[in-house]
């Protein structure tokens, strides 16, 4: 009888240890979001912090808004970094959006078509990104808010061809973060940033009034 009782206790202890091991394993100890990471501890932890602070949702909203309201891509002639009239018009729109959100940082990514060597295209893509940053600087956007961050060169074509292709010769501008020392960012007031309207978008009701004070349609 005593031997049987001991055996039962041993089994119970084994089950308890197994349960404890499971609770202290990677399934329960991993930070939230680590299942979408490639194994590094820092990335999911940082993502958790951004989500809890409200920064990640705000950046996601602003990025989507930027992409919906402003053309994010410009194109280039073959082997060129020159901004033509169409490109400058797009960048003027980007600069207007950036001016409305001075708390937000942006990155510019350079691309090329597949004509030429990988190394040469990487350099060309970077020069294109820097040309965009320089132009936006001329439009009043501080260089501290702009980065010619990455040249993807020929590695991410929109059109899969080895030939010359204008659609692949491009830069893409994206929302990339917040200005760290901005007062609203320091106070965590991301909602005020996200829901800010364009400075020139509001039209006074009186300017739309027709005869007798009625609002006229268009």
**What CATH number was assigned to the domain covering residues 73-196?**
3.30.1330.60
* pLDDT per residue as tens digits for the range 101-142: 999 999 999 999 999 999 999 999 999 999 999 999 999 999
Strand partners, 111: 153
* pLDDT per residue as tens digits for the range 27-75: 333 333 334 344 444 444 444 444 445 799 999 999 999 999 999 999 9
Residue 145 has pLDDT above 70, yes or no: yes
HSE at residue 41, side-chain half, CA atoms within 13 A, is 3
What pTM, to 2 d.p., does this model score? 0.68
What is the dihedral angle through the alpha carbons of 149, 151, 156, 161, rounded to the nearest 10 degrees? 150
Report angle CA 55, 57, 60 to the nearest 5 degrees. 105
């Amino acid at each position: 009888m005593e031997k049987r009782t001991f055996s039962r206790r041993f089994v119970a202890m084994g089950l308890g240890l197994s349960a404890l091991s499971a609770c202290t394993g990677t399934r329960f100890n991993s930070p939230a979001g680590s299942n979408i990471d490639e194994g590094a501890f820092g990335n999911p932890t940082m993502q958790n912090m951004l989500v809890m602070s409200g920064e990640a949702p705000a950046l996601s909203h602003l990025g989507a808004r930027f992409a919906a309201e402003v053309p994010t891509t410009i194109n280039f002639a073959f082997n060129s970094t020159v901004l033509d009239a169409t490109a400058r018009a797009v960048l003027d729109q980007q600069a207007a959006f950036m001016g409305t959100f001075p708390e937000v940082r942006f990155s510019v990514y350079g691309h090329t078509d597949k004509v030429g060597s990988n190394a040469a295209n990487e350099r060309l893509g970077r020069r294109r990104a820097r040309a965009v940053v320089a132009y936006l600087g001329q439009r009043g956007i501080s260089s501290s808010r702009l980065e010619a961050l990455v040249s993807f060169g020929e590695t991410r074509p929109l059109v899969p061809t080895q030939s010359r292709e204008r659609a692949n010769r491009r830069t893409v501008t994206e929302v990339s973060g917040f200005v760290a020392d901005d007062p609203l960012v320091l106070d965590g007031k991301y909602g005020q940033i996200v829901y800010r309207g364009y400075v020139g978008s509001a039209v006074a009701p009186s300017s739309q009034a027709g005869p007798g004070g009625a609002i006229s349609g268009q």
